[in-house]
Structure 1
Amino acid sequence: MAETPLTDSKKAPASKAAAKPKSETRETLTFLLKLAVIVLIFRSFIFSPFSIPSESMLPRLLIGDYLFISKWNYGYSRWSLPLGVPLIPGRILARDPARGDVVVFRGPPGDDVDVIKRVIGLPGDTLQMRAGQLILNGSAIPKERVADFILPISPNYPAVGDVNAKCDTAHLETGADGKQVCRYKRFRETLPGGRSYDVLDAADTGADDTGVYTVPAGSVFVMGDNRDNSADSRFPAPADAMPGEAVGMGYVPMDHIQGKAVVGFFSTDGSASWLLPWTWFSAARWSRIGEGF
């Protein structure tokens, strides 16, 4: 007698309901959120871009230069984060900058602007300017006259007569090619330890002769390489200035330093128009791209 095949008394499971189609909008928003977090982490802790808006760091940096700063060199504080969000207490993984480093920091009047200057004095140092000569810890810093610095007139650096003029009549010249340039006296300073950099000292100003500054603990003394046109530690911060007194940066707290300038990645003379893409190339100063510090 043939055996009757056994059958499962349980009902076979129903097939799963068709999965809901994924929302393209939701996927796009998720991707953008993840990208924003990655960019935020990268900019806060690794590298961040910075653009040069003024002439205070001539001749090393020109208006229209774009550079990367590294964020890990001196540790991290709230100012490492966008908008200075107070998520990092104090300063962690701290390390002091070296004299001669070009740093970006959060500056006055309300800790609401990014500023770039060169570190000249460290905690405990004494500094003074005498007839344009930098005196560090009682010793004159070697200052050697070198070739003049010549800067072509451009939309980023217009001549006298323009509403945003940067180059005055005393320094304006016409080059051999018939184009206007600005010429400044340039000098090479060498700090203890051998760190050298160029500075401009085109005229006698009140900042060429100062009292003696003593850098307090936890702060640095910064200066612009363009000694005649830089609001820096030679002048008090706005909150500390007397009525009518020139204002600058004062002593810069270490925890306000965001990073160290490392390399330029683009530079433009300001003649480009966003509506004319080919001008993006003609306005680029290609020789400045890739310059380190």
Structure 2
Amino acid sequence: MALAQNTAGQRRVSPMEYARRRSLLRDDPDIDVVDMPTLVGIAKAIEDEAVRRYRFLAELMESRGETSTAAAFRVMLEEEQSHVQAVDRWAASVGEPDISAEDFEWQLPADLSTSWDKVAGSALLTPYRAFALAVENEERAFSFYAYLAAHAENEEIRAEAEKLGGEELRHAALLRKWRRRAYHRERRPARSEPVEIDSIEGLRDALAQKDAEIAAVHRALVPRLRAAGDHASAELLERAIPAGTVPSPAEASRPTATSSGTEDPRHLLVDAQKPLESLADMLETVMANSDGELFEEAAAAMGRVVERISQISLQMRHP
């Protein structure tokens, strides 16, 4: 394939060559030579893994009561199922219809799944974030195909790998469109600018405010969890409320929430996680923009928050 020249007379880099130079994969796959059976097997494994992951995440989000995010994953699942069929037709066209994806799963880069593993337990995984991660994964798959093209046994296999990589870019473009739509649906009225934290005193004030907000949310959830029959989760939240904190005047005057006893405890625990993850986001920002004692204090607070989020996640698995 001839490469065009740009207006300055410089050699224009093809998308595949650019991907090889700036790979999104943390580690190069350990594949020395790519023949046609290997390329077909890997292509099938990529699509099969995507189908399994989107189905799992759709079911997980549905069980957590995150119906809009579950719907986003079902849309991606349907799209990936059509990709599986397309790859099967392509495999037959290159004379390799009987290759099993299972024999090649071990060759897939870990980067194609780790991003999903990190967010599967998140209470803040919105449709926008789900589509954004899917875009990143399609771009990583493109990088993988660029690597395979560079290690192809011959020109025919290189060309087929580049075609598959081009399909991943097409998928990414479609997902970007869905991502933009999700962003506009989720966008809320502009909030006030976050308070800048540049001192330990400022951090401690912000932590005190966040702790009060978290305690208010958890106090409201405790009776609802008990009404739903999940006394262990109610006690978990109650134990974590800092000693000495009392309801604010506004909170105290608010009517006590009642429950019919039919609420799903897992959904209530997702609600318990959300203010903690919001605090974790704030601490990440502080840590990214500080050093010395301020960084250390923010890191210690982050450790405590992560521990609380993990305890709730564990409780969701074993109600």
- TM-score normalised over the length of structure 1: 0.27
Give the number of the structure whose residues are more often strand, by fraction.
1
* Structure with more helix by fraction: 2
Structure with greater Cα Rg: 1
More RCO (CA 8 Å, sep 6+): 1
